[in-house]
Structure 1
Amino acid sequence: MKLFLKSCVVLIAGLSFTIATQVTSHASTYHSYIPAKLRGTWQMHEYDDAVSGSDLHMYKHSVAWGHAHMKLTNLHEYKHDHFSLQFKNHQGFRVIYKKRVIQSRTGVPSISIAVGSQFDSDAILYKGNIFKYPLKKVDNFIELTDEDGELDSEDSQLYDDDVMFFGKTKPYSTVTFDDDSGTTAIARKDGTFTMHLNGRIHDYAHAGETVTLTSVQPHHYRGVTETYMVYEDPDRDDDDDDSEIENNDLPSNDINSYDRILDGYAN
């Protein structure tokens, strides 16, 4: 913490004299460890091709991301909750810690990550069970669920080979899957809906890409739109896939993409 001296004039019994006062200001600091607020497992919310789509694990002196295991050499907090991390034999990155609105949930602890010289974030990740945070106060909302209406479930995610999925919104709202698809569903009395697709999700977006859902209540012209990540189904048997995908159609942002960047900087 830097200390700055600021002078002021004091009047006592007709006499004046100057004293110095201390004014504090946040200054950059360096650490050989990762602060507690950054440690733990961070789940991917959105990312681009520059980074891995895997969960990020931060420990006191190291970081694991995809197949990369990086030993921290220096951490610079150059601004409050703004960090620059450097690693041995790996490329560093910048982290901004912030509580954000994610999937209509407010106050979610999250980090944005920027790799290389660009200041735009390449990924946003969050920590913990997102469903324990309060819903954003809006006229409408959209939540993905499993077939039984449960929110916190692996089946409440969108997988690239899904032909249908489930969710919840305001009762009787019209839910649209990607504006250009023309695929819609009407929410039931309890707000649940079932979206039947014309094909599979990978016909609209591959794993690592995003799709949008829009929900509009009856007699309303404007609704709420949410963006959701598409994941590769870990239980899928490619031999049973009824569609053929050319090699050049596969998503480029596989879990090894970040490792290739790191290896390039290491060499």
Structure 2
Amino acid sequence: MLATTIAGVFSITAAAVFSFTLLSKMVERMVSLSVGIMLSTSFLHALPEAFESKADPRSLFATLLAGLLCFFMLEKLAILRHSHHHEGDGHHHAHGHDKHEAGRSGWMILIGDGMHNFTDGILIAAAFLANPELGIVTGLAIIAHEIPQEIGDFIVLLNAGFTRKRAYVFNLLCSLMAVAGGLLGYYTLDRASGLIPYVLVFAASGFIYIAVSDLMPQMQRRATVKESVPQVLMIGLGVIIVLFLTAGH
């Protein structure tokens, strides 16, 4: 419990410091960085780890499909709620409307992040049961992996219209899912370890859907060369960060 709590609080706080100070004036551009981080985390880390397990590949692909459809339906519900709230109000939504529309991606990324933290908690519990030293190393590795991912999450939440305080509090609450995962892993490790690949795939499906469905279309609205070059460079930087921090894991 101590390891999962420290890993969550430290990574969230460190990411908040970077996001709110160094990156606060570059939120729109840093959306590109979060796309690179989320896609590379999903395709180069979470999904390979899941498919290297003994789980049936067909079942994992089915979980990936179910996850994408699930997040599609969550987005549909968010759109319907948004439309119902504003219909017939007599106001135009040109100014700031993009942030209202982006808000649904903020809530979805919190759900995906909670699932991911839950899995991290299970992994930390498994490592501690195998060897306390391995547990400490695993916790440190997860912190190193979480910080760039959480920076991406904060960027998305700020872009979606969350205040700094609100983004920090909600991300901190999501980090408590690691404690829940750690407790579940400790008491029902055999059963929970078999679920790890599926939870990883489901979490990855959320990040993939958010990046491809919500964030990339935002970026495509700025199609000039002047805007596109920094976008591509920032996506590449996100990929490099994840490759560097997960090298050897």
Q: Given the two structures, how large is their TM-score scaled by the length of structure 2?
A: 0.21
Higher helix share: 2
Higher strand share: 1
Q: Given the two structures, how large is their TM-score scaled by the length of structure 1?
A: 0.20
- The structure with higher relative contact order (CA 8 Å, sep 6+) is 2
Q: Which has the greater radius of gyration?
A: 1
